[in-house]
Amino acid sequence: MFKKNPNIKISNISYSIDGKCLLKKTSLDVSGNGITVILGANGAGKTIFLKLLSGLINPDNGEIKTRSKDFSFSNSAMVFQEPIILRRSVLSNILFVIDKIQSQKKIMASELIDTLGLSGKDNQSAQTLSAGEKQRLSLARALITQPKILLLDEPTANIEPTSTIYIEKVLERKSSTGTKIFFVTHDINQAKRLANDIIYLENGKVMEYTKSSIFFKNPTTLSGKKYISGIISDVKNNN
């Protein structure tokens, strides 16, 4: 077994733009292990929350800390909703994020290409990949930095099932070997499949932080209940 990661301490962070508050003052003690899925309606602040975690944006107040230097957000990587790919080969895209390219990294890149089902496409122009393949490439690129924390913003929102499966499988494997994963999604079923715990946001406020099993059976807040039932009733109607 591996050493368990310490908790991530979020203390009094808030975020506003132009006077509009996008994330209300939040303090949270998040588990440093497993997959945390971030849920909420559109505009709830999920992406803002994720970006604050990753360090892409800085909170107006407060801080996000981990108790270990090794396990921290400076050693994290992010996958965006829209795959942002450079105009070069698949392999070159992956190696782009590495400072010093050694043979060891090249081997790792090849392995990642295989793991994510992009075998044989090393030297192919990345622009010719399908949306799903591009997103798989984005994940491979994130993984080559060997991050301790992985953040994903609706990575499978606009792609086909094959790629979704590849990505979910890799995430599960990574999580089981000690990588902390934060995952934003609108897909309840996906959340049920992957999540160990859930952060539920509404209107820029963290309403709930609970184990996944608890949240989906019986959310504590009314909002949470509404969110789940809203989705579930949608599913019922479609049937």
Give the footprint of another protein on this chain (CB under 8 A): 54, 56, 77-78, 80, 84, 86-88, 96-97, 125, 127-128, 145
What Å distances lie between residue 144 and 59, 73, 148, 201, CA to CA? 28, 16, 11, 31
Closest distance of CB 97 from another protein, Å = 4
Distance CA 96, CA 84 (A): 13
Closer of 65 and 88 to another protein (Cβ): 88
Residue positions counted in the chain: 239
Closest distance of CB 94 from another protein, Å = 11
Contact 168, 190 (CB under 8 A): yes
Distance CA 167, CA 97 (A): 20
Closest distance of CB 99 from another protein, Å = 8
What Å distances lie between residue 3 and 46, 70, 89, CA to CA? 29, 12, 37
Q: How far apart are the first and last CA of the chain?
A: 44
194 φψ region: left (φ > 0), alpha (ψ -120 to 50), beta (else): alpha
| Residue 212 host element (H or E) | helix 212-217
Closer of 30 and 78 to another protein (Cβ): 78
Closer of 78 and 139 to another protein (Cβ): 78
Distance CA 238, CA 28 (A): 36
Closest distance of CB 228 from another protein, Å = 31
Closer of 127 and 162 to another protein (Cβ): 127
Distance CA 69, CA 216 (A): 34
Closest distance of CB 238 from another protein, Å = 34
Closer of 7 and 75 to another protein (Cβ): 75
Closest distance of CB 41 from another protein, Å = 23
Closer of 78 and 184 to another protein (Cβ): 78
